[in-house]
Chains A and B, each alone.
Chain A
């Protein structure tokens, strides 16, 4: 069983704040790191992906990977109420397998 740790505790922030989410993992076999956004009663949609250590930026979103510490992060700048959703980290480890974290529920308060 490949393990991904993500604290599912709900996170409430005021509009405009920076949202910081993270996952840790224990298996070096994880090759590719993704963040999905899941709105209530919907399937996940891909938000960010990266395979190397470092930062990757896309608009208000930044994905950060530290392979040496087995730690990945997602930052959302200038958060909006429409960012309210559950954010899942996911890691690809070959053979069509994805390992998901439990997801972080984020609420952005107007």
Chain B
């Protein structure tokens, strides 16, 4: 089945530094990938839609200068949290739609737990 790999699984960084999270589709090409954020006991909230070769589309209220998204190839999207602060601590999950996949084919990565200290 379709696999989406996300790295790193956990990262701790100091306030003010930047962190990059990678999302790869391992066995399919994804022109579109999605970045979600999940707080404890809360639902997944879509942050942005990453489009290969073009600018990402951000959801209302998400700072595009803070959460930089790059989708340079059909199998890789990256999310960079710039100048991270403790309130950015959260669980970040990427997703991609695998062609012909069940349930509209949404396949999720295993998530990245970001802790900003």
Contact = CB atoms under 8 A, between A and B. Distances in A.
Contacts of A98: 44, 46, 104, 106
Given A32-B103, A41-B9, A42-B110, A97 B43 contact: no
Contacts, number: 57
Interface string B30-63: 0010100000011110100100000000000000
B34 A96 contact: yes
Nearest to B101: A46
Interface residues of A, number: 24
A49 interface: yes
A48 B49 CA distance: 24
State the majority secondary structure of interface residues on B. Answer: strand
Interface residues of B, number: 25
Interface string A1-31: 0001010100000000000000000000000
Interface of A: 4, 6, 8, 32, 34, 36, 41-46, 48-49, 88, 92, 96-98, 100-103, 105
Interface of B: 4, 6, 9, 32, 34, 41-44, 46, 49, 91, 93, 95, 97, 102-104, 106-111, 113
